[in-house]
Chain A
Amino acid sequence: MKVNELFKQELKVINMGLRSFATDLKSQNVEVVHVDWRPVAGGNKKMASLLSKLKGK
């Protein structure tokens, strides 16, 4: 699909990360689903590294 065609359709938005992006869209009456996403181990690098060691090889 060409990009211009995409913008002619109704937007279906899933937002991840900063909630303010979703809030801005909502305030313009755009339907949006905000995903409550957090980085692995809340961004704790040591814990993320330990967890990655337990993933399959």
Chain B
Amino acid sequence: MANIEQLIEQANKKALEIIQNGQPTLVDVSTAGEVIPGMTKKTIFHAGPPCKWENMSGPLRGAIMGALIYEGLAKDAEEAEKLAASGEIEFGSCHEHSSVGPMAGVTSYSMPVWVIQNKTYGNYAYCNMNEGLGKALRFGAYGPEVIERLKWMERVLGPVMKEAIKLHGPYDLKTMIAQMIQMGDEGHNRNKAGTSMFVREFAPYIVETSFSQKDKADVLRFMQGNDHFVLNLTMPAAKCTLDAAAGIKYSTIVYTMSRNGTEFGIRVSGLGNRWFTAPANYIKGLYFPGFSEKDANRDIGDSCITETCGYGGFAMAAAPAIVLFVGGTPKDAVNYTTSMYEITTEENKMYTIPALNFRGTPTGIDIRKVVETGILPIINTGIAHKDPGVGQVGAGLVNPPMKCFEDALEAFVAELEKEGLV
């Protein structure tokens, strides 16, 4: 009989080799309708595991209503809500369509999307563009200012960046993220250094595009005014890195962690596309003036794909200033990172933390280690208001439910039992 522990170790070694060798690269801007597999004019993709309209949380419903207004499929919130509930709109998980989106993650046909290619393995990932903080579609807001900004992103931001990328050529996101982590970002809730680098890199090419002076200046001002602009690049970078490591038989490595505002879901390399879900937790954090825990929705968004790939909350030791946004002390940030080595498989070869003597970030979550130690992945994240139409109310820290990992472990052992391996 094969030694099952060896089979698992070999499979995990292969998964980690793929994750370590991934080469996420920004290659284009397109629209969701043009590039995302399965996207139609009446399709809406959202964050997290698949979810039916009746089970969706307030912010996800709000974002979907906003997207229907933005697409011209509904004239107001009331009509949008009716249409969403009618069964006429097809909902799907971003993750199941090679894409990711922060918070509600709502992606519709006309939205401009970043096109990221994993140059080592050839696979693609897509992500919409970041709108900024506060009242934004991804937090469930759908007011006129939200829709107007989305229209501007479609009309100006997307096309300008498409042309700028064409002039610049492919942009290596792995190097960008590695530099961010050296400069005090962690690539999930702190993206200041990354955004600054991105603006510096692309500003000359934006200036060289054929758009009007006003459009070019507006794009530069928009990026300059949004410290999270590159979050929507660090996320698909992680997505296309990890997707390449999916489906490795006997691997216990997690390649997806995500939440839809109702449930948290994980997927494990050796268990293919199966989701293991449980009710998402509430976030402990800092609230914007006028809001409190009473206003908070459950954990939501695809952004914890960054933690799954070894940055975000897993690299908080590199970003001590983030505690001003998500709570805690710089010492806590170091402790969060060091505890993640207990549940991961390797140290990242590219993403290293100066404050830890350039130790690689903890990479490759192993479900066996999570269940055995009881240590859950640490995620730092934004907090959406529980009602549709409001937006972001704070940011903080959260863990996935242990049940996701326990159920995955049980399913993993059941698969091995079917094969007579245990």
The CA-CA distance from A53 to B410 in the complex, in Å, is 11
Interface residues on A, range: 10 to 19
When C-beta atoms are compared, the residue in chain B nearest to A55 turns out to be: B5
On chain B, the residues within 8 Å of A56 by CB distance are 3-6
Tally chain B residues at the interface, Cβ within 8 Å.
19
When C-beta atoms are compared, the residue in chain B nearest to A38 turns out to be: B374
Tell me the minimal C-beta distance from A34 to chain B in angstroms: 16
Interface 9-mer from A4-12, A24-32, A39-47: A39-47
On chain B, the residues within 8 Å of A42 by CB distance are 374
Tell me the minimal C-beta distance from A47 to chain B in angstroms: 5
Q: B3 to A57, Cβ gap below 8 A?
A: yes
The CA-CA distance from A56 to B6 in the complex, in Å, is 7
On chain B, the residues within 8 Å of A50 by CB distance are 371, 409-410, 413
Q: Does B54 contact A (CB under 8 A)?
A: no
Q: How many A-B contacts are there with CB distance less than 8 Å?
A: 42
Tell me the minimal C-beta distance from B313 to chain A in angstroms: 20
Q: A54 to B368, Cβ gap below 8 A?
A: yes
Tell me the minimal C-beta distance from A43 to chain B in angstroms: 9
Q: B4 to A54, Cβ gap below 8 A?
A: yes
On chain A, the residues within 8 Å of B413 by CB distance are 50, 53-54
Q: B368 to A38, Cβ gap below 8 A?
A: no
Q: B4 to A57, Cβ gap below 8 A?
A: yes
Q: A38 to B371, Cβ gap below 8 A?
A: no
Take A53-B422, A56-B4 as given contacts and tell me if A47 and B406 are in contact as well, using a CB distance cutoff of 8 Å: yes
The CA-CA distance from A47 to B367 in the complex, in Å, is 11
Query: Which residues of chain B in 1-41 are interfacial with respect to chain A, using CB atoms and an 8 Å cutoff?
Result: 1, 3-6, 8
Q: Does B372 contact A (CB under 8 A)?
A: yes
Q: Does A18 contact B (CB under 8 A)?
A: no
Q: Does A51 contact B (CB under 8 A)?
A: yes
The CA-CA distance from A54 to B416 in the complex, in Å, is 9
> Top 4 closest A-B pairs, CB basis?
A56-B5, A53-B422, A42-B374, A50-B413
Of the A-B pairs whose beta carbons lie under 8 Å apart in the complex, a sample of 5, sorted by A's number, is A47-B371, A53-B416, A54-B252, A54-B422, A57-B5
